[in-house]
Amino acid sequence: MFQALLLTQSDDRRTHAALAELDESQLPAGDVLVQVSHSTLNYKDGLAITGKAPVVRTWPMVPGIDFAGTVIESADTRYRAGDAVLLNGWGVGETHWGGLAQKARVKADWLLPLPAGMTAERAMAIGTAGYTAMLCVMALQAQGVTPDRGPVLVTGANGGVGSIAIALLSRAGFTVHASTGRLGEAAHLKSLGAAEVIDRATLSAPGKPLQKERWAAAVDSVGSHTLANVCASLHYGGVVAACGLAQGMDFPATVAPFILRGVTLAGVDSVMAPYARRAEAWSRLAAELPAEVLAGNTATIALGDAPAVAARLLAGQVRGRVVVDVGR
């Protein structure tokens, strides 16, 4: 038996989250059985646990799009009992039971070896948010964005993706501007590496198709009017890596930034990214993201605390990353 956070749906389509004692026989099919030690709370987890959006596709569901732990048994030769592994995405926590549990059974193709020298707790302090942030940095660099081209904007700066993107970009030599609705956190954002903090209200309302050129590039986890205004405010040849929809799925923009300034909109998907890109991202995270950055940007909670913290996360009341110690 093991503990898990189990989501069920009532006849009126309301989501209910509660700790449950489960048996291994209830786990879904997979090649590898993992003893999970740590998971995380991401924005998507918050939506799933609270039922604020139709993230969960099959019921009942164990949420948690991330986990790290140790292989118990494996039918795949790539992994053996005792191997330290991590997982991000692949529909885990949406269509396949996820990481907010003490055990998980998944496909071997979905796993990555834990980078050498990295603990499970540190991996989850990075989590899908930090992994996505690195994919965004890689996307900008693949488009030729370099520090000498000008400042880079990070929206949703106090969130998991935004906070780690600031740390990664600043340590790569970029001048980083941070957009947030919580200006009281400006000191924290500057400690991560932001050179300037701006009020998200300046970007979140409808704006002109073309605006003053302010940034060479951007990492956007917000979408909607914010993304449209960011595109309209990039330098000629600017690039924005778009990875989220905290403000909305809509994109109320025009083609003007793309055909008059040569702006590139690079979509970043972390859920189905191929193995090689994942491995590169995690290798770079292990090398480029100092442990002290994570320590000051991470809170650790018990499994039973996840529902309450998920609600706070969606209300914009959580700073940085949340690690879930599933053994607590």
Q: For 254-275, what is each residue's pLDDT tens digit?
A: 999 999 999 999 999 999 999 9
Whether 191 has a pLDDT exceeding 90, the answer reads: yes
Q: Where among 246, 267, 288 does a domain terminate? A: 267
CATH number at residue 164: 3.40.50.720
> In this predicted model, which residue has the larger pLDDT, 328 or 34?
34
Q: How confident is the model at residue 53 (pLDDT cuts 50, 70, 90)?
A: confident
- Residues 155 and 218 sit within 8 Å (Cβ to Cβ): yes
**Other C-beta atoms lying within 10 Å of the C-beta of residue 135:** 24
pLDDT score, position 328: 86
Same domain, 244 and 303: no
* 69-103: b (≥16 Cβ within 10 Å) or e: bebbebeeeebeeebbbbbbbbebbbebbbbbbbb
Q: At a CB cut-off of 8 Å and minimum separation 6, what does 228 contact?
A: 206, 207, 251, 252, 253
Same domain, 103 and 229: no
Same domain, 101 and 194: no
Q: Where among 217, 250, 267 does a domain terminate? A: 267
Q: How confident is the model at residue 19 (pLDDT cuts 50, 70, 90)?
A: very high
Whether 276 has a pLDDT exceeding 90, the answer reads: yes
Using omega within 30 degrees of 0 as the cis cutoff, is the peptide bond preceding 60 cis? yes
Rounded Cα–Cα distance for residues 193 and 70 (Å): 34
Q: Which domain holds residue 108?
A: 2-114+298-325
Into how many domains does the chain fold?
2
Whether 320 has a pLDDT exceeding 90, the answer reads: no
Whether 100 has a pLDDT exceeding 90, the answer reads: yes
pLDDT score, position 86: 98
Rounded Cα–Cα distance for residues 104 and 188 (Å): 35
Query: How many Cα neighbours within 13 Å face the side chain of 262?
Result: 6
**pLDDT over 90, % of the chain:** 90
Q: Identify whether 278 is part of a domain.
A: no
- Chain segment 277-308, per-residue pLDDT in tens: 999 999 999 999 988 888 888 899 999 999 99
* Segment 153-178 mean pLDDT: 95
Q: Identify whether 303 is part of a domain.
A: yes
Distances (CA, A) of 284 to 12, 207, 281, 321: 45, 36, 5, 19
Distances (CA, A) of 25 to 33, 36, 44, 67: 11, 16, 27, 20
Rounded Cα–Cα distance for residues 284 and 295 (Å): 18
- Chain segment 221-248, per-residue pLDDT in tens: 999 999 999 999 999 999 999 999 989 9
Reduce the DSSP state of residue 199 to 3 states and report it. strand
**What is the layout of strands, in order, in the sheet containing 152-154?**
194-199, 176-180, 152-154, 215-220, 234-242, 264-267
Name the pTM for this structure. Answer: 0.92
Q: Identify whether 284 is part of a domain.
A: no
Q: Identify whether 197 is part of a domain.
A: yes
* 302-320: b (≥16 Cβ within 10 Å) or e: ebebbbebbbebbeeebbb
Same domain, 248 and 202: yes
Q: Residue 197: what residue type? A: V
Q: Identify whether 293 is part of a domain.
A: no
Q: Identify whether 143 is part of a domain.
A: yes
CATH number at residue 310: 3.90.180.10
Q: How confident is the model at residue 76 (pLDDT cuts 50, 70, 90)?
A: very high
**pLDDT over 70, % of the chain:** 100
Q: Identify whether 155 is part of a domain.
A: yes
* Segment 84-113 mean pLDDT: 97
Q: How confident is the model at residue 321 (pLDDT cuts 50, 70, 90)?
A: confident
Enclosing H/E stretch for 30: none
Smallest CA-to-CA distance from 138 within 244, 270, 251, 272 is with 270
Q: How confident is the model at residue 11 (pLDDT cuts 50, 70, 90)?
A: confident
Same domain, 176 and 144: yes
Residue count of the chain:
328
* Segment 115-132 mean pLDDT: 94
Q: Where among 218, 246, 267 does a domain terminate? A: 267
Smallest CA-to-CA distance from 117 within 314, 297, 283 is with 283
For CA atoms 268, 272, 276, 279, the dihedral sign is: positive
Same domain, 165 and 248: yes
Same domain, 254 and 133: yes
Same domain, 96 and 159: no
Same domain, 103 and 47: yes
Q: Identify whether 281 is part of a domain.
A: no
* Segment 136-158 mean pLDDT: 97
The DSSP letter of residue 8 is E
* Segment 307-324 mean pLDDT: 90
Same domain, 194 and 247: yes
Which of 39-43, 44-48, 80-84, 317-321 is predicted least confidently?
317-321
For CA atoms 87, 88, 93, 95, the dihedral sign is: negative
pLDDT score, position 159: 87
Same domain, 16 and 80: yes
Report CA 54 to chain centroid distance, whole Å. Answer: 18
**Average pLDDT over the chain, rounded to an integer:** 95
Same domain, 227 and 311: no
Distances (CA, A) of 153 to 54, 116, 170: 30, 32, 11
- Residues 65 and 46 sit within 8 Å (Cβ to Cβ): no
